[in-house]
Amino acid sequence: MVGIKEPGTETQKRGGNASPFAGLFLAIALAGAAFWAGQHYPPNPPAGVAPTPPASPSVVLPVPGSGKQTTVSPGMLIGENTIADIASEASKSVVTIDTSSSVILPDSPFGFDRSFRDFEFFFGPSFRFGPPQGQRKFESRGSGSGVILRPDGYILTNNHVIGNADKIKVALSDNRVFEGRVVGKDSFSDVALVKIDAQDLPVARFGSSKTLRAGDWAIAIGNPLGLEHTVTLGIISALGRSLSALQNNVELIQTDAAINPGNSGGPLLNIHGEVIGLNTAIRGDAQNIGFALPIDVARDVAQQLLEYGKIARAYVGIYMQDLDAKLAKALGMPESAKGVVVVRVAPDSPAEKAGLTQGDVIEKVDGKAVTTSKEVQQLVRSHKPGQSLNLLLFRNGELTSLPLKIGDYPAEALESSR
């Protein structure tokens, strides 16, 4: 065909007796040159298309505590031994906490204190079922986990792990066992601090829970059902969860890393082996729905317990409800109005002293618009007792500014939140 040449025809004609393999060698050489050029001189991408970044080289990482190294290949999120290495190192700072407490119960075959007059009616006055009536002392036992906070024997755990225990035993990863004593505990956040008489303990590496995202890796270590130093792997499922069991006091981390009874107080780790939470609770009617207390909250509470022996917690003393269209109309506000309604004011509270009344609608706290009671709580808790804040209220058809001095959370309120 005119204007078209068959590949290789001209070369064969000019070469005369050239080897039939010459074309193959030339093709290989050209392909190699093209490959070399492609590797070292990549062509410019078409307009509007971002250039492809070069492949990342393999990364050599040290294996903590072993003196060995592991290689993470390009494109891999974690190496083959990453989780095992993290668990091996982190487990050194995880402890088992066993508690016991005395419980006095009525000495009755039915578990409650009552006379046997009902039985005497049927069987006569000489009838006695079981031993003489009185009280019997029993020992209640519990088990949980904890994290070494300081090398001089301070252990971080959950308040519900300690409870009202008479005796506390702390077992370290090297099998040493110590008597523990409670330095302080806070039922509001479910944090407790325990001290043992030991030195030079391996301290956990602490990260921050402020930068977490749903989908991040999560590793739980603890002693579920007495199975010491159990390791489970999952992800951060969600953030900002609340539990009625904690009176919605703290926003928790949700994870699908398996957590079971006995895990409480143990660490939830990130992929760097840093503690990001204390495993705290599970949903008993579900699978793989566990909750951890953010480590930033736990460490702040522990620090206050160490320094002051108690927690300074902001208190205003109001019960709130989010404003909806129906409620707004009833209060004489536009149905599109936003805010939080004060439904009750606690007697002798900072709110009552400031003049806050039932039916007031909080629209702003310190100049920040609020639409939910949760937002009001967060802004109040960002202050310390003794500090003041300013509320912008809708009251009797007009806006009113009201200063309020924050009080300290009363002990009776804390007791009711247990």
What one-character-per-residue DSSP string does 138-151 give? EEEEEEEEEEEEET
The string of DSSP codes covering 3-51 is T---TTHHHHHHHSS--TTHHHHHHHHHHHHHHHHHHHSPPPPPTT-PP
pLDDT score of 12: 38
What is the C-alpha separation between 180 and 203, in angstroms, rounded?
17
195 touches 177 (CB < 8 A) = no
Q: Give the residue ranges of the chain where pLDDT is below 70.
A: 1-78, 105-135, 244-248, 411-418
Q: Produce one character per residue of 151-175: b if its CB has 16 or more CB atoms within 10 Å, e if not.
A: eebbbbbbbbbbbebeebbbbbbee
Question: What is the residue extent of each domain of the chain?
Answer: 217-299, 314-416
Q: Which of 169, 162, 106 is closest to 137 using CA atoms?
A: 106
pLDDT score of 330: 86
Catalytic positions are: 160, 190, 264
Q: Which top CATH class is 217-299? A: mainly beta
Report CA-CA distances (Å) from 411 to 188, 298, 352, 377, 416. Answer: 11, 20, 18, 19, 9
pLDDT score of 63: 56
Phi, psi (degrees; rounded to nearest 5) at 308: -120, -15
pLDDT score of 242: 80
Place of tokens 């070369």: 11
Report helix, strand and coil shares of the chain as percent, to nearest 5. 25, 35, 45
Report CA-CA distances (Å) from 112 to 84, 109, 122, 131. Answer: 50, 8, 20, 14
247 touches 315 (CB < 8 A) = no
pLDDT score of 166: 87
The string of DSSP codes covering 327-354 is HHHHTTS-TT---EEEEEE-TTSHHHHH
pLDDT score of 246: 60
pLDDT score of 197: 94
pLDDT score of 42: 42
Right CATH for 314-416 from 3.30.360.10, 2.60.40.10, 2.30.42.10, 3.10.20.30: 2.30.42.10
